């Protein structure tokens, strides 16, 4: 009994720490990519005067630059202790930081509860963490970085080949192919009819990754859930008068939400029958 309790405490703590790391990735990765694109556009390959990556500089307040001590970086607890404000300048700290830490911990707990201490549990926990990261980055920047989506496709195929995702390699492979081609076809059909781009190409890769992890039978459920939640999200933004001027809202967060839903509850045929 004590061993089980210690295991669960360890899993939750691991999820909180990983969630804290994901917050760093969510904040920094888009800025790293933008710096790379700006350097490529300008034709300069010189390193930046100040290194900026996932590890450097150290964590700091984005408002005043105050370097955070270890006591200010304890997942969730530091946020509560600081009452959601920077200790140095009193600027508010976004509620999403502890929310992502807690949500990641819940997803880790679900994975280990479902699969025990196993490769499957680690695989699904990593899959869930990647979806949380992609959803937040896309919501902020309308970007779905290849640095996450592409490894997610390949890791899905690898997990299937090792038996960790509990679908066959063939099911995973065709899930990736069909997922990519479906949204690719929708993209070109919409562009041909309207002359506009209805979604980014990162969405193709994300649905391919979901197909690789969840299999081709889950694709209909993924697209249906993402579409319905996307419509609901758009209506909510419109009612709150927070819809962007161009009327575009990223589809990636809804695909990621659909992926997490299917991971936990299964796809619609398994629910209905």
Residue-wise pLDDT for 196-236, tens only, equals 777 788 999 999 999 999 999 999 999 999 999 999 988 88
Q: Do 40 and 100 belong together in one domain? A: yes
Q: Are residues 64 and 138 in the same domain?
A: no
Q: What digits encode the pLDDT tens for the residues 99-113? A: 999 999 999 999 999
Question: How many structural domains compose the chain?
Answer: 2
User: CB–CB of 92/6 below 8 Å?
Assistant: no
Rounded Cα distance, 263 and 15, in Å: 17
Q: Coil, helix or strand for 195? A: coil
Q: Which among 88, 117, 146 is the end of a domain?
A: 117
Cβ atoms within 10 Å of 140's Cβ, excluding its own: 14
Question: Environment class of residue 199 by beta-carbon count within 10 Å: exposed (0-12), middle (13-18) or buried (19+)?
Answer: buried
- Note whether 69 and 148 are same-domain residues: no
Same domain, residue pair 90 and 155: no
Please give the model's pTM, rounded to 2 decimal places.
0.92
Single out the residue in 117, 147, 182 at which a domain terminates. Answer: 117
**Structural domain boundaries enclosing 262:** 119-273
Q: Please check whether residues 126 and 112 belong to one and the same domain.
A: no
pLDDT one-digit tens code per residue, 123-138: 999 999 999 999 999 9
**Could you tell me if 266 and 144 lie in one domain?**
yes
Residue 191 pLDDT more than 90?
Answer: no
Are 233 and 270 within one domain? yes
- Residue of 111, 226, 103 lying closest to 166 (CA atoms): 111
């Amino acid at each position: 009994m004590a061993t089980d309790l210690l295991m669960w405490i360890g899993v939750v703590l691991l999820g909180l720490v990983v969630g804290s790391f994901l917050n760093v990735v969510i904040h920094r990765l888009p800025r790293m990519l933008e710096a790379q694109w700006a350097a490529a556009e300008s034709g300069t390959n010189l390193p930046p005067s100040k290194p900026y990556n996932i590890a450097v500089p150290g964590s700091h307040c984005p408002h005043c630059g105050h370097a955070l001590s270890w006591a200010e970086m304890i997942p969730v607890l530091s946020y509560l202790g600081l009452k959601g404000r920077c200790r140095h300048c009193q600027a508010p700290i976004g509620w999403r930081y502890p929310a992502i830490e807690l949500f990641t911990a819940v997803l880790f707990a679900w994975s280990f509860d479902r699969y025990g201490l196993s490769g499957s549990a680690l695989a699904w926990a990593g899959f869930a963490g990647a979806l949380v990261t992609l959803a937040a980055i896309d919501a902020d920047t309308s970007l779905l970085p290849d640095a996450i989506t592409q490894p997610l496709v390949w890791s899905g195929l690898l997990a299937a080949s090792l038996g960790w995702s509990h679908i066959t390699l063939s099911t995973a492979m065709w899930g990736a192919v069909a997922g990519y081609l479906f949204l690719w076809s929708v993209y070109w059909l919409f562009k041909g009819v309207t002359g506009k781009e209805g979604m980014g190409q990162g969405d193709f890769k994300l649905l391919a990754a979901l197909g690789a992890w969840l299999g081709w039978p889950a694709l209909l459920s993924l697209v249906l859930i993402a579409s319905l939640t996307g419509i609901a999200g758009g209506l909510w933004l419109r009612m709150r008068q927070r819809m962007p001027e161009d009327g575009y809202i990223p589809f990636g967060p809804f695909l990621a939400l659909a992926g997490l839903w299917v991971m936990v509850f299964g796809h619609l045929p398994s629910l209905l029958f």
